[in-house]
């Protein structure tokens, strides 16, 4: 083999080795695999539940003013929807610590919202304005925690080349 061909062959072989190594690394990233599963299977299961819970809460907030009707709406419509969302979150079990950490943020966000809704229900039944304010504060914390979840999920997805829609 001529020296020029040997050099070209060496460069080609080295390039192929790098490509194979890159592909192996790309496809063997356990966080990436877990994140893809979490987004495609886990989050897709809860997306509808999350939207429904938010829709019920928004409807209640916009249309109901009487404390008895607020209490009934919270008790029969809103809180059960959030509790179903929370139960479904418990069924999702990420494998890697990185995805587990992000998932736990979402769980905490929903827990804060449910706790805030229960305080609001208690306030609507008892007429305790302070409990209502506490409930609102917890709901806001839960809402803010949802934004933290989205930011952390987006960051993790970028780090592992997972594209979110």
Residue 13 lies in a domain: no
CB 134 within 8 A of CB 118: no
Residue 59 lies in a domain: yes
Give the pTM: 0.80
Angle, helices 129-159/30-37, rounded to nearest 10 degrees: 130
Residue 7 lies in a domain: no
Residues above pLDDT 70, as percent of the chain: 84
- Could you tell me the CATH number of the domain that includes residue 118? 1.20.120
Beta-carbon-side half-sphere exposure of residue 36 (alpha carbons within 13 Å): 12
Residue 145 lies in a domain: yes
pLDDT at 109 (0 to 100): 97
User: Which range among 15-19, 39-43, 62-66, 122-126 shows the weakest confidence by mean pLDDT?
Assistant: 15-19
CB 77 within 8 A of CB 60: yes
The sign of the CA dihedral 113, 115, 118, 123 is: negative
Residue 51 lies in a domain: yes
State the distance between the two ends of the chain, measured CA to CA, in whole angstroms. 52
User: Would you say residue 10 has pLDDT above 90?
Assistant: no
Give the whole-angstrom CA distance, residue 68 versus residue 125. 7
* Over residues 91-113, mean pLDDT: 97
CB 119 within 8 A of CB 82: no
* Over residues 122-137, mean pLDDT: 92
CB 31 within 8 A of CB 98: yes
Question: DSSP state, 161?
Answer: T
Domains held by the chain: number: 1
Q: Token match 């987006």: residue?
A: 154
pLDDT at 19 (0 to 100): 52
Give the whole-angstrom CA distance, residue 134 versus residue 117. 10
pLDDT at 2 (0 to 100): 57
Residue 18 lies in a domain: no
Owning domain of residue 70: 30-159
pLDDT at 3 (0 to 100): 56
Average pLDDT, the chain: 86
Residue 57 lies in a domain: yes
* Over residues 123-138, mean pLDDT: 92
- Confidence band for 93, pLDDT divided at 50, 70 and 90: very high
Residue 6 lies in a domain: no
């Amino acid at each position: 083999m001529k020296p020029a061909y040997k050099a070209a062959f060496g460069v080609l072989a080295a390039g192929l080795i790098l490509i194979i190594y890159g592909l192996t690394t790309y496809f063997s990233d356990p966080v990436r695999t877990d994140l893809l599963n979490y987004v495609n299977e886990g989050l897709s299961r809860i997306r509808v539940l999350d939207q429904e819970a938010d829709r019920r809460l928004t409807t209640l907030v916009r249309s109901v003013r009487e404390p008895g009707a607020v209490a009934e709406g919270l008790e029969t419509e809103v809180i059960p929807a959030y509790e179903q969302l929370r139960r479904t979150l418990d069924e999702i079990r990420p494998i890697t610590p990185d995805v587990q950490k992000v998932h736990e943020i979402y769980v905490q966000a929903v827990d804060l919202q449910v706790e805030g809704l229960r305080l609001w229900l208690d306030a609507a039944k008892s007429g305790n304005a302070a409990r209502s304010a506490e409930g609102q504060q917890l709901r806001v914390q839960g809402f803010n925690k949802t934004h933290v979840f989205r930011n952390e999920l987006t960051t993790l997805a970028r780090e592992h080349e997972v594209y979110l829609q």
